[in-house]
Amino acid sequence: MTDPVPFYRHDLSAADAAPIAAVLDSLFLTTGPVARSVEAQIADFFTAPGALLVNSWTNGALAALLALDIGPGDAVIVPAMTFIATANVVKLLGATPVLVDVDPGTLMLTPEIAAAALTANTRAVIPVHLYGQMADVKGLRAALPPDVAIIEDAAHCFEGSRDGDAPGIHSDAAIFSFYATKNVTCGEGGAIISRNPDLLARIAETRTHGMSKTAIDRFAGNAYRHWDQAVLGVKANLPDLLAALLPGQIATIRDRLPRRAARAARYRAAFADGPLRLPQPVPGGVDAHHLFTIHVPPPVRDAAIDALNAVGIQVTVNYRAVHTLSYWQAQGWRADDLPVAADWGDGTISLPFFPSMTDAEQDRVIDAVRRQVYPLIDAARCHPAPNAQLSIASAR
């Protein structure tokens, strides 16, 4: 049998090892001159006053929430259609994640949904730029009181925009992930941008235990300088060893987007006449095309995954809705509290999607979906399970 079509294949090669070797020849293995220069590159990319590299989106979000002094008694609004990290960081700090539903077309948080969930305790909202499209951050800013912070989960959206605005323009901070499968990657990592220099300065401390000086500052000019701790922080700084992988990718990310867009357009054209539901494009948006997801009636989703796997197509699920997972169910959340996110999460499948994918690989995926998945959908519509009527109706 031919090799399976992988879900993802990264583009890094032996050439990317040279900057790492250069770090090994230098004094700083941890956060030093390479990280500084990548931070300047990212700030420049987003025309932001500053950027901070972090060792994951998750630790970066903890540092940002700590810098905003968010903790017990505070509520933070989080859409249920996201990776669990978005909600977990709020919970880890003892604040209350207020999970909310999403727009049925784009699967993202809207200003109306966020405004409806506001209470006197709301301190922040974390919109998620799902699959590469951007949520309406400008609209959110207009709909929310000025003292409610907006932190963008831009893990899927480094190179996307909405109405000409990139992440970080209308929010207090935008946080990116450089996890292994993200559009820009160093294995594990991330970055935070903000238009608020005071907040950036606070995050620079909460990113490194709450220390007032980083390692590179402590030894500046060969003279030791004391550091102090004024606040509580996490350990979220990115070492130069990993930061060294980023400059080449950031420099070429916009040039590489058309390849992702072309792959996505090819899938969309192939499925245009079929029964799949796809996320709705945001008008005026530039999609970073991080993932390509489809939706089938929930009762046949797992059978569809098995059928694709059986013909050598690797797929994954992004995401089962946060509130449908055991941890959140144990805290009293019910699937039908947030029905749109629950239905999408129970029916979605992420197809193989990466820039170096070949036409032949993509054709195999398209063929498998049409031959294996379409008949399952047809069968489900002819003979719906008693409790499946609602989701099938909404999938039309």
**Catalytic residue annotation:** 182
Cβ proximity to ligand PLP: between 179 and 328 the closer is 179
From 97, 108, 156, 170, residue interacting with ligand PLP (rule: CB under 6 A): 156
First to last CA, the chain: 36
Strands 173-177 and 149-153, bridge-based pairing: parallel
Closest by Cα among 349, 340, 391 to 109: 340
Footprint on residues 93-132 left by ligand PLP (CB under 6 A): 128
Other CB atoms closer than 10 Å to residue 331's CB: what's the count? Answer: 10
From 42, 43, 52, 57, residue interacting with ligand PLP (rule: CB under 6 A): 57
Q: Return the ∠ at Cα 187 (arms to 185 and 192), rounded to 5°.
A: 55
**190 lines the binding site for ligand PLP (CB under 6 A):** yes
Options 116-124, 152-160, 328-336, 344-352: segment touching ligand PLP (CB under 6 A):
152-160
Transcribe 132-173 into DSSP letters. Answer: TBPP-HHHHHHHS-TTSEEEEE-TT-SS-EETTBPTTSSSSE
CA dihedral of residues 182, 183, 187, 189 (deg, nearest 10)? -80
Beta carbon of residue 55, minimum distance to ligand PLP (angstroms, whole number): 8
From 42, 53, 63, 85, residue interacting with ligand PLP (rule: CB under 6 A): 85
CA distance 253 to 255: 5
Beta carbon of residue 259, minimum distance to ligand PLP (angstroms, whole number): 20
From 177, 183, 206, 391, residue interacting with ligand PLP (rule: CB under 6 A): 177
Footprint on residues 64-83 left by ligand PLP (CB under 6 A): 82-83
Beta carbon of residue 238, minimum distance to ligand PLP (angstroms, whole number): 11
By three-state DSSP, how is residue 202 classified? helix
From 31, 56, 183, 206, residue interacting with ligand PLP (rule: CB under 6 A): 56
Strands 285-286 and 161-162, bridge-based pairing: antiparallel
From 45, 46, 158, 179, residue interacting with ligand PLP (rule: CB under 6 A): 179
Residue with tokens 């059978």: 303
Cβ proximity to ligand PLP: between 180 and 390 the closer is 180
**292 lines the binding site for ligand PLP (CB under 6 A):** no
Which residue lies nearest ligand PLP, judged by its C-beta? Answer: 57
**46 lines the binding site for ligand PLP (CB under 6 A):** no
Transcribe 240-283 into DSSP letters. Answer: HHHHTTHHHHHHHHHHHHHHHHHHHHHHHHHHTTSS-B-PPPPT
Which residues form the interface with ligand PLP (CB under 6 A)? 56-58, 82-83, 85-86, 128, 153, 155-156, 177, 179, 190
